[in-house]
Amino acid sequence: MRIYLQGGKEFFCSKFTSKVWFKRILQYLASPIKNIYDMKITHRQAKELVNLSCSIVIGRHDQYAVWAILQSTIFRAIESGISEVIEECILAYPSIIWASDGFYLFHSAISQRQEKIYNLVYQMSSYKTFIASHVNHDTKENALHIAAKLSPPHRLNIINGAALQMQRELQWFKEIETNLVQPACKNAYNKAGKTPRMVFTDAHKDLLKEGQEWMKETASSSTVVATLMVTMAFVVAFAVPGGNKNEGSPVYLDRGAFTLFVISDAIALFSSATSVLMFLGILTSRYAADDFLYTLPKRMTIGLVFLFLSLAATLVAFSATLSLVLQDKVTWIAAPLLVITSIPVGLFGVLQFPLLIKLVYSTYGPSIFHKQNKRMIH
């Protein structure tokens, strides 16, 4: 709708413009919402299909066929990590959990590193008690021996970086060692005469070496940057902008920008020094396998956080210095400086923050092992 004004001018009604923008927003949001709805519908239909298939198979009253079909279905679901299929099969035919001597289900969940299936089966108290002391008759291996082996490549590669991959492997090993197997199983020997710890060391020696190299390269590069920050912040502290008066006090001592400069420089100095110490702690580490679980990721996280803080503080100090020097002649310098200063900080965030988030989440975030469905507890 158009409204004409005197002089031949015209403009679109604001109400019409609002409707157009509202329609565009709805079109933008409609597709993701529809995709989520379709996924939920597909998930529900898949569960109904599994239930119907189980009912048909069980209704044939052929125990051999029931075991063969459901067992094959469960094994495929383990490889794909589809815990819902396993849940429905066990609820429909509980005896299927004892397929392949009752050991294969948990053995496969651990060897395939399928935490959802592990969490699901872990809640079944009677089955968990059986697995805690069960030893495979052929290989003489218990559940901890299985957890000590290297993950399949398709599961290992979902984690970026050898150090984080090593951390995830240790998380699995510690989970089985602490919360599942009995104490006697921790030092039990398999058919090859190896304890679970020996199996873990042999299976992960290449991954451990890659993790060491990744940690050293990252720490070395970051140490160089942090050292430059320390040097620059230390020198600038004694070469204040504007110089000093005859009695030694800074010329711009009474200006607010000078206070900002001093605080920013101090933060940059102490942050970069802390970052250097953390990275040196990584470089001088013994690089034992257990260090990748908590110690090394913690040091890397602290080092990256303080390195980012020192970079931001250094740029703020630089902006405050230029503002002091040029404020009398270039009064509009503050706004461009703010924009320019934010560019390096933003680039550092884009390049390093994904790594930092992964380190924090994998080290301090929620565990991948947790209860997820109360229907399976019995």
pLDDT in tens, 326-376: 766 655 666 676 677 677 767 777 777 788 888 898 888 888 887 655 455
Structure tokens at 18: 């609002």
What per-residue confidence (pLDDT) applies to 274? Answer: 94
Q: Where do we find the tokens 């919402």?
A: 33
What per-residue confidence (pLDDT) applies to 258? Answer: 78
Q: Are 153 and 91 in contact (CB under 8 A)?
A: no
Full-model pTM: 0.78
In the chain, how long is the greatest CA-to-CA distance? 103
Structure tokens at 186: 């921790």
One-letter amino acid of 188: A
* Measured CA distances, 231 to 277, 306, 315, 319, 345 (Å): 14, 15, 15, 18, 19
What per-residue confidence (pLDDT) applies to 259? Answer: 82
φ/ψ (deg, to 5) at 291 = -65, -25
What per-residue confidence (pLDDT) applies to 16? Answer: 47
DSSP assignment of 159-173 equals S-SHHHHHHHHHHHH
Cα 326 to the center of its chain, rounded Å: 45
Q: What is the pLDDT along the chain (378 residues), one digit of tens a residue?
A: 444 444 444 444 455 455 555 556 655 656 666 667 667 777 677 777 777 777 787 777 777 787 788 888 888 888 888 888 888 888 888 877 776 655 677 888 888 898 888 888 887 766 777 777 778 888 888 889 999 999 999 889 888 889 999 999 999 999 999 888 888 888 999 999 999 999 999 999 999 999 999 999 999 999 998 998 898 888 877 777 666 666 656 666 667 777 888 888 899 999 999 999 999 999 999 899 999 999 999 999 999 999 989 988 888 888 777 777 776 665 566 667 667 767 776 777 777 778 888 889 888 888 888 765 545 544
SS3 103: coil
Domain spans of the chain, in order of start: 217-363
